[in-house]
Structure 1
Amino acid sequence: MELAKSFEPGDIERRWYTIWENAGYFQPHMDSDKPSFCIQLPPPNVTGTLHMGHAFNQTIMDGLTRYYRMKGDNTAWIPGTDHAGIATQIVVERQLAEQGVSRHDLGREAFIDKVWEWKNVSGGTITQQMRRVGCSVDWSREYFTMDDTRAGIVTEVFVRLYEQGLIYRGKRLVNWDPKLGTAVSDLEVLSEEEDGSMWHIRYPVVGSDETVVVATTRPETLLGDVAVAINPTDERYQHLLGKMLELPLTGRQIPVIADDYVDAAFGTGFVKITPAHDFNDYQVGKRHNTSLINVMSLQATILDKAQVFGFDGSALGTIELPAAYAGLHTSDARKKMVADLEAQGLLVEVKPHKLMVPRGDRTGSVIEPMLTDQWFVAMTKVGEGDASGKSITEKAIDAVESGQVRFIPENWVNTYNQWMNNIQDWCISRQLWWGHQIPAWYDEDGKVYVGRSLEEAQAKAPGKTLRRDDDVLDTWFSSALVPFSTLGWPEDTPELRAFVPSQVLVTGYEIIFFWVARMIMMTTHFTGKVPFKDVYIHGMVRDHEGKKMSKSEGNVIDPVDLIDGIALQPLVEKRTTGLRRPEKAPQIAKATEKLFPEGIPPFGSDALRFTMASYATLGRSVNFDFKRAEGYRNFCNKLWNATRFVMMNVEGKDCGQDESLPLEYSFVDQWIIGRLQQAEADVTNALETYRFDLAAQTIYEFIWNEYCDWYVELAKVQLQNGNEAQQRATRRTIVRVLEVALRLTHPIMPFITEELWQTVAPLANANKTDSIMMAAWPVAVPEKINAEANARMEAFKDMVNAVRNLRGEMGIGPAVKAPLFIETADQTLADYVPYLKLLCRLTDGTLLAKLPEDDSPVAISGDARLMLKVEVDKAAETARLTKEIGKAEAELAKLTAKLEKPGYVDKAPAHLVERDKAQLAEFSDKLEKLKGQIEKLK
C-alpha cells in the first residue's frame, strides 16, 4: 500500500471509522476467561451537540477503551443519550412558540408526540459527532433513557423503592422555576452576584414603644414571616425573647425566638424567619416547630389567601393577605410593599447590597424556594425487609470508605463525603410533560396507588376511577440507573455479570453528587455491587485565557470545526444564528473575529485528541490553546513523513523476516530498541494510572525526538555503508520499532496509526490481525535494554552537540563542510565518525593522539577534545562580525534606554518589562559571543 505524499485526515478518518464499525470491532468478545473492561458514557442530551468538554472526556474514555481492547480484555464502551427533560421540552416549546402555539394548546399527548418527532430528527447529531472524534463505542448497545427497555426498568425501580418505603410523597421546600412551572435541581440553578438592596424595617414590640429593626433582601416575603430570631448569646436582645412583634402590613403577631443560625455581628442582629420561602428559614422553623405560611402562587404572584401548613405536611388553614398585593408578581409586590412601609414610617433605610441571586439556567428567571407537593426518595431510611440494615446513603458511603470505589484524584473523596454526610431526601418529581411519568394513580379521594401499570394499580383499587399523576421523574433518576439498566437488569445476564462493576467512570467534578453518588446508591442497593471501581474526575475545558466557554461570550469552540476547519464568515454565521438573545449577535461576532481572524484551520481528529490527552493532568482544568493543537498537527505530519521515508528505504528489501539469516545490530540499533522498551513501560504505566498527559509526552518525545530526529537520521548511514547483515538488522529495527510505536500511539491517535500500520505491519511481521485496534498491546522486555549501547549513544549525542556548538561559535554556515579532528585514546570513537559526518556536515573525522597546534577553537566531549579545521577569509569574516556587533550594540542601547526611562519599570505591564529584560540579556550574550569570535580571528 503506497502512502500519499501528505497526511490528509478527512478521508482517512471517515474510511476507517466505517470499516471498524462495520467489522464489529467495537463489540466485546464476551470471553469469560479474559478480564472484563467496561466504561459507561455519561449520556449527553439527546438533542445536544458535541462541545469541548465532550471531546476531552471522550478522548480519555476512548483511549482507555482502545488500550484495554488491545490488551485482549472483554471490552465494552456503552453509549447512550439522555432525554434531558427540561432542556428538550424547552427546545420544542420554543419551536411551537414561533408558530404561535403553546403545549397547552396541543395537550399532553400531542405535545409528547412533537417532542418524539424532534428527538428523531435531531437525536443522532451528537452520536455522529462522536464518530468524527473516533469514539469506539459499541453502537449495538446504544440506549436512550426513555426507550422502552429503560422505561420499564425505571418503573420497576420506582415501584420497588415505593414498596420498600423509600419513596414517598410529601410537601417540602424545593427550587421552583416560575417560568417553567417545575421544581429544578441545584445543578439547574445558577447563583450569580448581582446589585441589590438591603431594606431595614421596623417591627413594633407588642405592648411597648420599643421596635426592632429587621434587615432583609426580600421584603415581599414578609407576609409569610412566622418569627424574628436573634442569636441566643446576643446580650443586647435577651429581654425580648418570648415577646411578640407586630408584623408590618398584616395585623398578625409573631414571636421573638433564639437560634444559632443568626449571626449577631451581621446587620441588626435580627433575622425574619419565613420557612415557606427560604431554605435556611425552613430549617430554623423546623427546629422551633413553627408553621409554614405560603404566600406565593406557583407563578410567583402574591396570593389573596396564604396557605398554612405544619412541617408534617398537614394543612392548618388559610390566612387572609392584604388585598393590595394579591395577584402582583413578587417584583411588583416588593415595590408596593416598600412604598407602604415607608408611608407608615416603618422603613428605616435602604442600603445597596451585593447578593447572590439564584436563577434558572434555562430561563434566567429568579428561582423561588417553594412549598409544593413532590415525590421524594428517603436517603437515610432503611428499606423494609433490607437485611443489610443500612440506608441507601450508608451503602454508598461504605462503598467509598471500603475502597471498592476509588476517586482519582483522591481529594474528591472529601467532596463526596461532605455531600453524603449532609444529604437531604431527594426530590425526584418534576412538573413537566416530557419524561418518565410517575407510575402512581389517585382515586377520587386523593389516595395514591403505585404500580407497574394502570392494571396493577387498578387491581389495588377495585371499582375506583383512577387518575395518573401528571408529574415526571427527575432526569437524574433514570440516569442513576445506567450502570445496570444498560446491561439487562433485572435479569441475571452475562453482561451484568461481566460489566458490573465497570472499571472506571470518567466525568466532571460538577456532577459528583447529582450523578456519581446516585449511581453508587442505586447500583449498590439493587445489585449488591458497586457500579464502577474508579471515578476519574477531570477538569473543565476553558478558553486560552482561562475563561469559561460560553455562547454569550463568543468563545465556544465546536470540536468538529477544529477537526474539519471552518472559514471565518461561516463561523460567525454559525455562532450568531438562533440565539436566545439576538441582541448579543454583534458582541459574539466581534469576539469570534478577534479569536479567529482567519477562521479555524483543519487539525484533524488525531491532532485534537492528542492535544486533549496532553492536557489531561489529573483534576486540572484545561486552557485550550490553538498553538498546542497546531503543534500536534505537525506531529501527525512528522509521523506520516517519517513512515514514508522508512517505506522508501525498506520496501521490497530484506527487513529481517527470515529469522535464520544473520543480523548485526549497531549500538544505534540496540539503543533505539532499548528506548522502545522504556517507552512501552512508561506509556503502559501512564494509561493504567490515568495519566494521559504523561502517555502523550512519552509518545511525543520517543517518536519525534528519539526515533525521527536521531534514529532515522543515523539509520541512513547504516543503510548506505553497512554490510548485508548490518543493513538487514537496521531495516528490521527501523520497521519494527515504528510498528510498535504506532500501536503505542493508537489509543490516542487512532486514525493515522491505523493508516500507517497497514503499510508498516507486513514488513514487521505484525499483520496478524486486520486492524491495529485488534493488534496486541506492546509489552516491554527489559532484557532488551542494553546499558552499554545507551552509554555510547549518550556519549555520541554529547559529541554531536559539541560539534554543532563549535560550528555556531565559528559562524560556519550550514552549506559549509569541514574536517573534524578528535583527540582521544579511545579508538571505539571511530564508530562515531560516519554518523558525525552526516549529522554535523563534516568532510571527514580523524582520531589523533594530539590535536594540531592551531588557533581554531576546541570543544570538550567526555575525554575527547574536538577541533574543526576551517580556512576562513579573515577580512570578510571580520567585516561580517563587525556589522553584527554594530547591530547588537544598537539594540542594546535602545533596550537600556527604555528600561532606564523613569517610571517605565514600575508602571508598564509586568510581562512587557520581563520581555524587555529577557531581550536585553539575549543581546548582551550575543554581543559577548560576537566579540569572542572576532578576537579569535585576530
Structure 2
Amino acid sequence: MELSKNFEPAQAEQKWYKHWQNKGYFNSKPDGRKAFTVVIPPPNVTGVLHMGHTLNETVQDILVRNARMSGYNACWVPGSDHASIATEAKVVQMLEKEKGIKKADLSREEFLKYAFEWKEKYGGIIYNQIERLGCSVDWDRVNFTMDDHYYKAVIKTFIDLYNKGLIYRGARMINWDPRAKTALSDEEVIYKDAVGKLYHVKYKVKDSDEYITVATQRPETIMGDTALCVNPTDERYAHLKGKKVIVPMVNREIPVIFDEYVDPAFGTGALKVTPAHDINDYNLGLKHNLEVIDTLNPDGTLSTAAQVYVGKDRFEARKLVVQQLTEEGLLVKVEENPTRVAYSERNPDTVVEPRISTQWWVKMKEITEPALKAVVDGDIKIHPGDKFLATYKHWLENVKDWCISRQLWWGQQIPAWYTKDGNFVVAATSEEAVEAFKKQNITVTAEDLKQDEDVLDTWFSSWLWPVEVFNGITQPGNEEINYYYPTSVLVTGQDIIFFWVARMVMAGMEYQKEIPFKDVYFTGMVRDKQGRKMSKSLGNSPDLLNLIDKYGADAVRFGIMISAPAGTDLLFDEDALNQGGSFNIKIWNALRLIKGWETRIDNTISSTSNTFALEWFDQRLQQVRSEIEKLIGQFRLSEALKTVYSLIWDDFCSWYLEWIKPGFKQPISAEVYQKTVNYFEQLLQILHPFMPFITEEIYHLLKEQTDDLCVKQYPENNFQPAAILKTGELLKQVITAIRDARNKNQLKPKDTIQLQIQASDPASYQIIESILAKQVNAEQVSFTTETVSNAVVVAVEKDKFFFTSNQEVDKTALKAELEKDLEYQQGFLESVMKKLSNERFIQNAKPEVVAIEKKKQADAEARIKTIQESLNNL
C-alpha cells in the first residue's frame, strides 16, 4: 500500500478511537490483575472544557495508558458535576435571554426540567471533547453527581453525619452572594487587593453638642449600627462611659461600648459596630449583647430595616448616603484606603456580603484529623510535595466549620422536614420523617410537612466521588469498591486543594476507613499570554475542538504537555502545538523512509558494517525506557515527553537512521531492516501514552500486526549501562564538530576530505571508523601521532582531528570565524575560572558539581589550543 505524503489526524483519530472502543480496551471489570484506578475530576456542566481541563485529562490519559500497557487492570471513571451555583446561574440567564422566563415564574420542578436539559446538552459536549482528545475512559462507567444512586448517597451521608452530631443547623455569619442569592463557604470567596475609600462620619453624642468621628469603608451600612466602640485605654473617649450617640440619617440611639478589640491608632480610634454586616462586629455584638439589624435584602438592595433608600442597590445606596451625609454636614473627609475586597468564586464580578443567616454546617475538627494524619504520615503523597504539602497542612490545621446549605433549586435538596410551628427532623423521605416525629411524641402526616428549600453545597456531593462512583455509599462493601478503592492517583488543579482534595480524604477516611488515593498530582494552572488563568468565565481559552481540528489531537496533547512541568503554571502558546505537528511530520517521514527500504531488502548481505549502530541504539533505547519509567513514576511527565522526543527526533531519526541508511538504490541487510522495524515499534510503544493516534496508525502501517499498540505490553527491561553508549556519544560529538568545521571552511556536503585522527586510544575509533567516514564524507581515514600541518584542526575532549581537502578555502573568512570562536571560548573559560577561584563555591558545592566545572575548564582549554593551532596553520 502506498503511503500518503502526510499524516492525516482526523481520519486516524476517528478510526482508532472507534476501534479501541469496539474492542473494549477501555472497559474494566474486577479480575486477578492489580487495579490502576483513576477518577476524573468531574468538570462542571456549565459549558465546555478549557485548556486547564485539556492538560488535566491529558495527564490522566498518559498515566492510564501507561498502566494498561504495564499489565494493570486500568480503570478510568469519567463523569461530570452538577455545579449548583454556576449551573443554576447559567440556566437562569438562558431562560431569561432565550425564552423570556424568570426563575420566579417557575415551580421548582419546572426549573429542574430545564436544568437537566442544560446538563444533557453541555454534558454531551464535554464528553465529546474528552473522546476527541483520545482519553481512554471507561464510558460504561459515566457518573453524574445528580444520578439517582449518587443523589441517594449524598442524602444518606447527610443523615449519617447529622445523627453523629457532625452536622447542625444554626444562625451564624456567612458569606452571601447577592447575585446567586445564596450562602458561600469560606473557600468560595476570592479576595482581591483594591484601593477603597475611608469615609469619616460624625456621630452626635446624645444630649450634647459633641460629635464623635468614625471612619468607615461602607457608609451604606450605617443604618444597621447598634453601637459605637472605643478602646477602654483611649483617654480621648473616657468621658463617654454610659453615653449614647445618634446614628446619622435614622436618628437611632446606640450605646458607646468599650472593648480592647478596637485599635486606637486606626482611623479615629472609634468604631461603628454593625453586627449584621461584619464578622468582627458580629462577634463584638455577641460579647456585648447588641441588637442585630440586617439592612440588606438577599439581592443586595437595602431592606426596610434600613429605613432610607429602601430597594436601592447597595452600591447606589452608598453614593446616596455619602451625598446626604455631605448635605447634612456629617461627612468630615474622604481618603483613599488600601483594602481587600471579597468576590464570589462562582460569580467573579459579584462582591460578597457578610450576612447573618440560618444555615446547615459540618463540624470540621473531628473529621479533619484523619485527613491531616494521612498526608503528614506519607500515606498519601502529594506531587510536587515541597510546594503543596505545607498549604494542605495549613488549611487543615486552621479549618473552620463548613457551611453546606445553598439557597438554590439545582442540587440535592436537604433532607430536613418541618412542621408549621418550626419543629424539624432529618430523614430521607416524608414518610420516614413522620415516624421520626412520632418518636418525639409529635403526631403529623406527610402532608403536614414541608421539606427544607435549600440544596447542599456542590462539594458536599463531590467529596464522595472516589467512593460513590463504585457505589461505596449506597452499596457498602460491594465487589467493585473492594477492588478499585483506594484509587491509584488523583490528578487535579492546585486551586481546589481545599474544596475537593482535602474533603475527599475526609470522606474516604470516614466511610471507607481508608485513604481515597495514594498519590495526588497537582498540575499547574494554564494561563493566557496575559498571565490570567484560563476559564470559561473569562472566555480566554481557545476552543479545544477547533484546536484538534486544526492541529490534530496528538499535536494538542504534545503542545500542552511539553510546556507543563509538574505544579508549575504555564502560559499557553499555540506555537507548542505547531511543534507537536512538526513532530508528527518527523515520525511520519521516518515511516516513509523505512517503508521505502522494503523493496531493497537482501538476505545475503551481512550486517557487520552496521553492528555498532545496531548495538548502540539497542542500548540507548533500553536506557531511555528506564529513564521514562522512572520519570513517569515521579510524575515528571513533561520531562518524560521531552526525553522520548529527543530519543526519536535526535537519536533515532538524526543519528541511527543516517548511520544505517543504504546508499542510493543500494540494498539493505534483512537483519538491519528487521531490527530497525523492531526499534521503531518500541519507540512507538514508548510514545503511545503521550500521542496515541499517530503511534497506533504507524504501528499498523509499519508491518502487518496481530495486536494493537493500545494494549501491547511493555517488554521486560533489565538495562545495564555499557561502554558502547559512551562511544556513541563520542561519535556524535566528533561528527558534529567536523561538520561544523567543514561549514566554516565553506566545504559543501559533496566535497570529500582526508581525515587523520590523533587519539589517546586509536582502538576506540576502529568500531566507528566506517560510520565516521560516511557521516563527514571522508574518502580516507588514518591515524597519526604528530600534528598535521596545513590542515583544519578539530578537538573533541583529548583527541584531535586533522582534515584536508582539495577545495580552495577562503582563508580570510575562515580566520575571522576562528578568531570569533576563540574570543567566545576565552570568555567562557574566564567565567568558569571565576567560579573555580571562588572559595565559597569550592567549599559549599557538591564534589560532582565541582568536577563538572573542572571538566568545563579542561575542555575549554583544549578547544582554545586547537583554535590557536588552526590559526597558526593558516
**TM more than 0.5:** yes
Give the corresponding residue for 1:399: 374
Pair 1:339–1:804, CA change in 2 (3 A): closer
Task: Please state how far the C-alpha of 1:49 moved relative to its aligned partner.
Answer: 0.5
Give the corresponding residue for 1:904: none
Give the corresponding residue for 1:502: 487
After TM superposition, the structure 1 = structure 2 runs for residues 696-707 of structure 1, keeping only pairs within 5 Å, are: 696-707=641-652
Cα deviations across residues 10-67 of structure 1 (Å, max 9, x unaligned)? 1111111111122111122422x43221111111112420110001111111111111
Match of 1:331 among 315, 325, 340: 315
After TM superposition, the structure 1 = structure 2 runs for residues 451-462 of structure 1, keeping only pairs within 5 Å, are: 451-461=427-437, 462=443
Match of 1:780 among 699, 714, 717: 717
Task: Please state how far the C-alpha of 1:881 moved relative to its aligned partner.
Answer: 8.0
Give the corresponding residue for 1:438: 414
Match of 2:742 among 807, 812, 817: 807
Cα deviations across residues 427-455 of structure 1 (Å, max 9, x unaligned)? 11111111111122211111112211222
Alpha-carbon separation, structure 1, partners of 2:784 and 2:169: 96
Alpha-carbon separation, structure 1, partners of 2:210 and 2:716: 84
After TM superposition, the structure 1 = structure 2 runs for residues 670-749 of structure 1, keeping only pairs within 5 Å, are: 670-716=615-661, 727-749=669-691
Alpha-carbon separation, structure 2, partners of 1:554 and 1:121: 19
Give the corresponding residue for 1:253: 254
Pair 1:332–1:796, CA change in 2 (3 A): closer
TM-score (norm 2): 0.86
Alpha-carbon separation, structure 2, partners of 1:403 and 1:827: 53
Work out whether residues 259 and 284 of structure 1, in 8 Å CA contact, stay in contact via their aligned partners in 2. no
Cα deviations across residues 457-483 of structure 1 (Å, max 9, x unaligned)? 123344341111111111111111111
Task: Please state how far the C-alpha of 1:270 moved relative to its aligned partner.
Answer: 2.8
Deviates more, 1:615-624 or 1:851-860: 851-860
Task: Please state how far the C-alpha of 1:188 moved relative to its aligned partner.
Answer: 4.7
Give the corresponding residue for 1:571: none
Deviates more, 1:455-464 or 1:52-61: 455-464
Task: Please state how far the C-alpha of 1:847 moved relative to its aligned partner.
Answer: 1.3
Specify the code of the residue in structure 2 equivalent to 1:329.
D
Work out whether residues 225 and 272 of structure 1, in 8 Å CA contact, stay in contact via their aligned partners in 2. yes
Alpha-carbon separation, structure 1, partners of 2:618 and 2:236: 82
Task: Please state how far the C-alpha of 1:275 moved relative to its aligned partner.
Answer: 2.3
Specify the code of the residue in structure 2 equivalent to 1:836.
L
Give the corresponding residue for 1:562: 547
Task: Please state how far the C-alpha of 1:555 moved relative to its aligned partner.
Answer: 4.1
Specify the code of the residue in structure 1 equivalent to 2:701.
T
Specify the code of the residue in structure 2 equivalent to 1:741.
L
Matched, 1:841 2:840: no
Task: Please state how far the C-alpha of 1:405 moved relative to its aligned partner.
Answer: 2.0
Pair 1:291–1:503, CA change in 2 (3 A): farther
Give the corresponding residue for 1:147: 147
Task: Please state how far the C-alpha of 1:525 moved relative to its aligned partner.
Answer: 1.0
Cα deviations across residues 249-307 of structure 1 (Å, max 9, x unaligned)? 432222333234x44443223332322111233344445554433222223333334xx
Alpha-carbon separation, structure 1, partners of 2:375 and 2:208: 58
Matched, 1:184 2:195: no
Specify the code of the residue in structure 2 equivalent to 1:486.
V
Give the corresponding residue for 2:708: 771
Pair 1:829–1:400, CA change in 2 (3 A): closer
Structure 1 residue matching 2:293: 3-state secondary structure? strand
Pair 1:775–1:289, CA change in 2 (3 A): farther
Structure 2 residue matching 1:71: 3-state secondary structure? coil
Structure 2 residue matching 1:781: 3-state secondary structure? coil
Give the corresponding residue for 1:113: 113
Deviates more, 1:844-853 or 1:670-679: 844-853
Alpha-carbon separation, structure 2, partners of 1:115 and 1:553: 22
Match of 1:413 among 386, 389, 398: 389
Pair 1:338–1:672, CA change in 2 (3 A): same
Alpha-carbon separation, structure 1, partners of 2:374 and 2:868: 70
Pair 1:179–1:757, CA change in 2 (3 A): same
Specify the code of the residue in structure 1 equivalent to 2:708.
S
Task: Please state how far the C-alpha of 1:173 moved relative to its aligned partner.
Answer: 1.9
Give the corresponding residue for 1:619: 567
Give the corresponding residue for 2:444: 463
Task: Please state how far the C-alpha of 1:211 moved relative to its aligned partner.
Answer: 4.1
Matched, 1:89 2:88: yes
Work out whether residues 191 and 356 of structure 1, in 8 Å CA contact, stay in contact via their aligned partners in 2. yes
Task: Please state how far the C-alpha of 1:621 moved relative to its aligned partner.
Answer: 0.2
Pair 1:301–1:841, CA change in 2 (3 A): same
Structure 1 residue matching 2:215: 3-state secondary structure? strand
Alpha-carbon separation, structure 1, partners of 2:128 and 2:24: 17
Alpha-carbon separation, structure 2, partners of 1:76 and 1:235: 71
Alpha-carbon separation, structure 1, partners of 2:370 and 2:601: 64
Task: Please state how far the C-alpha of 1:826 moved relative to its aligned partner.
Answer: 2.7
After TM superposition, the structure 1 = structure 2 runs for residues 847-926 of structure 1, keeping only pairs within 5 Å, are: 847-849=782-784, 854-861=789-796, 865-873=800-808, 877=810
Give the corresponding residue for 1:535: 520
Pair 1:324–1:291, CA change in 2 (3 A): closer
Specify the code of the residue in structure 1 equivalent to 2:147.
D
Work out whether residues 198 and 215 of structure 2, in 8 Å CA contact, stay in contact via their aligned partners in 1. yes
Give the corresponding residue for 2:337: 353
Structure 1 residue matching 2:303: 3-state secondary structure? strand
Work out whether residues 180 and 363 of structure 1, in 8 Å CA contact, stay in contact via their aligned partners in 2. no
Cα deviations across residues 784-818 of structure 1 (Å, max 9, x unaligned)? x421x223323322321232133123111234333
The RMSD of aligned alpha carbons is 3.3
Match of 1:640 among 588, 592, 610: 588
Work out whether residues 198 and 215 of structure 1, in 8 Å CA contact, stay in contact via their aligned partners in 2. yes
Give the corresponding residue for 1:575: none
Task: Please state how far the C-alpha of 1:650 moved relative to its aligned partner.
Answer: 4.8
Pair 1:117–1:226, CA change in 2 (3 A): same
Give the corresponding residue for 1:20: 20
Pair 1:101–1:257, CA change in 2 (3 A): same
Matched, 1:57 2:56: yes
Work out whether residues 670 and 786 of structure 1, in 8 Å CA contact, stay in contact via their aligned partners in 2. no
Work out whether residues 717 and 838 of structure 1, in 8 Å CA contact, stay in contact via their aligned partners in 2. no
Give the corresponding residue for 1:893: none
Task: Please state how far the C-alpha of 1:835 moved relative to its aligned partner.
Answer: 1.7
Deviates more, 1:826-835 or 1:678-687: 826-835
Pair 1:740–1:458, CA change in 2 (3 A): same
Task: Please state how far the C-alpha of 1:551 moved relative to its aligned partner.
Answer: 6.8
Task: Please state how far the C-alpha of 1:351 moved relative to its aligned partner.
Answer: 1.6
Task: Please state how far the C-alpha of 1:546 moved relative to its aligned partner.
Answer: 2.9
Specify the code of the residue in structure 1 equivalent to 2:619.
G
Alpha-carbon separation, structure 2, partners of 1:864 and 1:715: 25
Match of 2:470 among 460, 470, 487: 487
After TM superposition, the structure 1 = structure 2 runs for residues 272-283 of structure 1, keeping only pairs within 5 Å, are: 272-283=272-283
TM-score (norm 1): 0.80
Give the corresponding residue for 1:912: none
Alpha-carbon separation, structure 1, partners of 2:153 and 2:334: 55
Alpha-carbon separation, structure 1, partners of 2:206 and 2:582: 80
Task: Please state how far the C-alpha of 1:498 moved relative to its aligned partner.
Answer: 1.9
Alpha-carbon separation, structure 2, partners of 1:367 and 1:538: 29
Structure 1 residue matching 2:754: 3-state secondary structure? strand
Work out whether residues 822 and 848 of structure 1, in 8 Å CA contact, stay in contact via their aligned partners in 2. yes
Specify the code of the residue in structure 1 equivalent to 2:466.
P
Pair 1:878–1:859, CA change in 2 (3 A): closer
Give the corresponding residue for 1:131: 131
Alpha-carbon separation, structure 2, partners of 1:468 and 1:853: 98
Structure 1 residue matching 2:368: 3-state secondary structure? helix
Alpha-carbon separation, structure 2, partners of 1:540 and 1:480: 22
Alpha-carbon separation, structure 2, partners of 1:495 and 1:289: 55
Task: Please state how far the C-alpha of 1:553 moved relative to its aligned partner.
Answer: 7.0
Match of 1:752 among 683, 687, 694: 694
Structure 1 residue matching 2:168: 3-state secondary structure? strand
Work out whether residues 821 and 851 of structure 1, in 8 Å CA contact, stay in contact via their aligned partners in 2. no
Pair 1:300–1:859, CA change in 2 (3 A): closer
Alpha-carbon separation, structure 2, partners of 1:647 and 1:282: 78
